[in-house]
Amino acid sequence: MASLFTPLALGSLTVPNRIFMAPLTRCRAGETHIPNDLMVEYYKQRASAGLIIAEATMAMEGHSAFWKEPGIYSAEQITAWKRVTAAVHAADGRIFLQIWHGGRACHPLLNHGAQPVAPSAIAIADEVRTPQGKQPYVVPRELHDDELPGIVAGFKQAAQNAKNAGFDGIEIHGANGYLLDEFLRDGSNKRSGPYGGSIENRARLTLEVLEAVSTVWGSDRIGLRISPLSSYNSMIDSDPIGLSIWLANRLNDFRLAYLHVLRGDVYQQQNGDVMTPIRKYYRGVLIGNFEYAPDKADHEIADGKIDAVAFGRLFLANPDLPARIRSGAAFNEPDPATFYTDGAEGYTDYSALHAS
């Protein structure tokens, strides 16, 4: 019977436990979007995760959605990420890079005045943090079909850059209301033609990205993250369960390292169980995410409902999370006030059980 501490094969990579670190945007890379010493230390501290999935990282220049998030499109960024991956590997860890395009969640104030792009010209009904304080999202420009091969090529180059930087694999970000998710869901994709309308058409861009990056890595070193129920960034779909089942079936063709599913909705606008139908139809490794307590995660792994869990806030505040779970020790509490600040406070200063 499997547990959180049972090794797991992710394609050609075997990880020692099933306590994964979820991708957590922390905005510590500065205005240049280049990883730095703080990030080296942060990821090294968390190397005991079965797998670290590093934060959302810009595949292409000019599509910043978070301000001070990292990128993987320049030689300087590749060199800087090499220091992160080397530190994680020296600590006997494994790390994938989540690569991403912000889509309509980008903002002109973060991108030298450039209008964001999206499947349809529909703005997010919220505000974004910028150098000029919180500002409303703007109406994006609808992408033309002939622009989409360039986006696919951008993801492919980012995949190659991640490989050059020493990562063990990549995760394609198809969740949380960013570009690929915007194409997937019919609340944000109102276009006609080959990339709109049916689920098959709406999934076309994501599948093309997966095909392209698979030529760089091989599909067994690639994960995909989706969030069919999440309403973050004004997202909604008329049939999230149907979308989940279609994707679960279609993704079997890729033999991915894993499918990573954010199972719920923090805003509770869409409810339902996507994990059960995905597990029924998807034949690969399934990672659950969103409000799993360790004991619940352990039970669901033992019952075969999921294969691993990606912990977010628990890993943010507990760099030695596997050791704490194994020993039954108390958890540090995360400090939301420091989630997106610049320094070490609330980032690399959370205590470990056995400080070195």
Q: Catalytic site residues?
A: 178
- Signed CA dihedral, 188, 209, 156, 279: sign only: positive
Question: Which tokens sit at 242?
Answer: 């149907």
Instruction: Return d(Cα 168, Cα 95) in angstroms, integer.
Output: 6
Q: 3-state DSSP call for residue 287? A: strand
Instruction: Return d(Cα 28, Cα 322) in angstroms, integer.
Output: 24
Instruction: Return d(Cα 86, Cα 44) in angstroms, integer.
Output: 9
How many Cβ atoms are within 10 Å of 136's Cβ, its own excluded?
11
State the pairing for strand pair 127-130/133-136.
antiparallel
Alpha helices in the chain (DSSP H): 37-45, 75-90, 148-164, 179-184, 199-202, 204-217, 240-251, 275-281, 294-302, 313-317, 321-327
